[in-house]
């Protein structure tokens, strides 16, 4: 995977292992950038799960981000920690919409455990019901590159 330094002159780029650790362990929101039917940008804060070099997002089948991706599957994303020392990963990705419940459910469960702690709480149950009844989809983002920054040594 190509990794570049997003803020040359300040801090450093993350290594591949640091990118993998940051994306796998962070509970930050992913900001997902899509283009709508009027060619205007849209930004959607979402929960995500990172595995095997791909980012996964659960969302509604009729959500604006899903509609936008059906029309143009190139997206931009950013996950950044706004607390000092600043650190983050952004990039461009190709998005695929997964609609098969048997493929969606294990990914959605991982997202729910990551952000809510377990599958027994009301938020997780509500969102998983959407997956089970087919009103949700999983967006699979395959990054083309990562632009990263770590300002740990700048502060």
User: What is the rounded average pLDDT for all residues in the chain?
Assistant: 95
Domain boundaries, the chain: 3-154
User: Which H helix or E strand runs over 22?
Assistant: helix 16-25
- Could you report the per-residue pLDDT of 67-91, keeping only the tens digit for each? 999 999 999 999 999 888 899 999 9
At residue 123, does pLDDT exceed 80?
yes
What is the structure's pLDDT at 50?
Answer: 98
In SS3 terms, 75-120 reads as EEEEEEECCCCCEEEEEEEEEEEECCHHHHHHHHHHHHHHHHCCCC
- Could you report the per-residue pLDDT of 27-43, keeping only the tens digit for each? 999 999 999 999 999 99
Euclidean distance between CA atoms 64 and 62, whole angstroms: 7
Return the sign of the alpha-carbon dihedral for residues 137, 27, 15, 51. Answer: negative
Report the DSSP pairing between strands 87-98 and 74-81.
antiparallel
Name the pTM for this structure: 0.95
What is the structure's pLDDT at 9?
Answer: 85
Superfamily of domain 3-154 in CATH is Electron Transport, Fmn-binding Protein; Chain A (2.30.110.10)
């Amino acid at each position: 995977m190509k990794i570049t330094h997003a803020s040359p002159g300040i801090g450093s780029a993350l290594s591949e292992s640091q990118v993998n650790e940051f994306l796998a362990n962070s509970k930050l929101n992913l900001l997902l950038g899509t283009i709508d039917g009027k060619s205007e940008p849209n930004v959607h804060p979402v929960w995500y799960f990172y595995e095997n070099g791909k980012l996964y997002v659960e969302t509604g089948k009729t959500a604006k981000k899903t509609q936008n991706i059906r029309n143009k599957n190139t997206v931009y994303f950013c996950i950044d920690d706004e607390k000092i020392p600043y650190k983050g990963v952004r990039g461009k990705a190709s998005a695929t919409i997964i609609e098969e419940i048997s493929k969606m459910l294990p990914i959605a469960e991982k997202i729910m455990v990551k952000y809510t702690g377990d599958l027994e709480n009301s938020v997780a149950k509500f969102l998983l019901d959407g997956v089970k009844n087919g009103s949700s989809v999983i967006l699979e983002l395959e990054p083309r590159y990562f632009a990263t920054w770590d300002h740990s040594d700048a502060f």
